[in-house]
Structure formats: structure tokens, C-alpha cells
Amino acid sequence: MKAIRLLVMLTMAVLSSVSGYAYEPLVQEGIVWNTSHEEREYNSSPYTVIDSWYFDAPVKMYGKTYLPFKHKNHIFGYMRQDGDKVYLLVDGDNISDIWYYNENRDRFELSTGDEVLIYDFGARVGDKYMSVSMDEHGFFHAYPEMVEVCVVKADTVMVNGHERRR
């Protein structure tokens, strides 16, 4: 009987430790990730440049809490996450002068303190939303354009035999 109880407890401990991972939001202090791209100087072989990006300590701006998005201690923007959605603050300094035209060719301009949806992890195939343009390395422009994003594929990954969206 003791052997069966021990076996059941051991099995439950192992299963609970591998049953999956808790959701981790993208925007949180201390998160660091690397990007890489190739560069080339005149008449030389290409070389790989690796850059580290990170979220710094939260700050209150316009009545909400944002995390500075940094590279080498330079702030590229302020972001916050609310559920599945990640927003970029139009802070007037790092990100400013955002405008777009709707389908009727009416011009809309975002003001300092407004937000732009940049990621919607809950979006489904076929969903559309307006976001900001980025350069070829995925960086934000200081004066980005609004562009329509259309979800054409939902990326998934297998975790402990279960397919999960990422």
C-alpha cells in the first residue's frame, strides 16, 4: 500500500512539473532578447551584428504605466500590455507625428498621449487592425506611418504535447 501511495505521489509530482508553462507576457521589466542582422562595409565580407533589447523599470505617463523599450540605454518607445494586446505610446519624443488615411481618404492624426496597438496576440486569421510601420530590422521609425495588419497565419508551438499560440 505504501509503495502504491509513493508511486501515485511521485507520478503526480512529475506530471504537475511538466504539465505546461504559465503564460508570460511580452512586456515586463527585465525581459531581454537579441536580434541579429548582417552588415557590410565597402568591399568587405558581411558580418553579423547582434543587438540586445530590453524593457526597463515601469514609469507612469498619461495616467498609465509603461515600460521603456531600450537598446544600449537609449529609449526607443514606451509600451504596455493589457491582456493579449501590446500598445505603443505616442510620447511626442521617441514616437511622434503618426497619421493615416481611412478608406474614405479622411486624414487622422494621433496626438501625444495616444496609443497604437502594435501586437494583438488574441487575433485570429482574417482579423485586421491598424499598427505602426517598422524598418527592415523590426525597429520603430521616429515618424512611423500607420499600416493595416492582416493576420494570415497564427504561429503555434508544441509544449508538452499541446499546441499553443505564441
For residue 156, the enclosing domain spans 55-165
Selection from 150, 148, 149 nearest residue 100 by Cα: 148
The residues of the chain scoring below 50 in pLDDT are 1-20
pLDDT value of residue 29: 92
CA distance linking residue 48 with residue 96, whole number of Å: 31
Q: Is the dihedral of CA 119, 146, 66, 63 positive or negative?
A: negative
CA distance linking residue 5 with residue 24, whole number of Å: 34
pLDDT value of residue 13: 39
pLDDT value of residue 9: 37
Q: Is residue 42 part of a domain?
A: no
Q: Is residue 20 part of a domain?
A: no
Type of residue numbered 157:
V
Q: Is residue 125 part of a domain?
A: yes
Domain tally, the chain: 1
pLDDT value of residue 21: 52
Q: Is residue 40 part of a domain?
A: no
CA distance linking residue 144 with residue 116, whole number of Å: 11
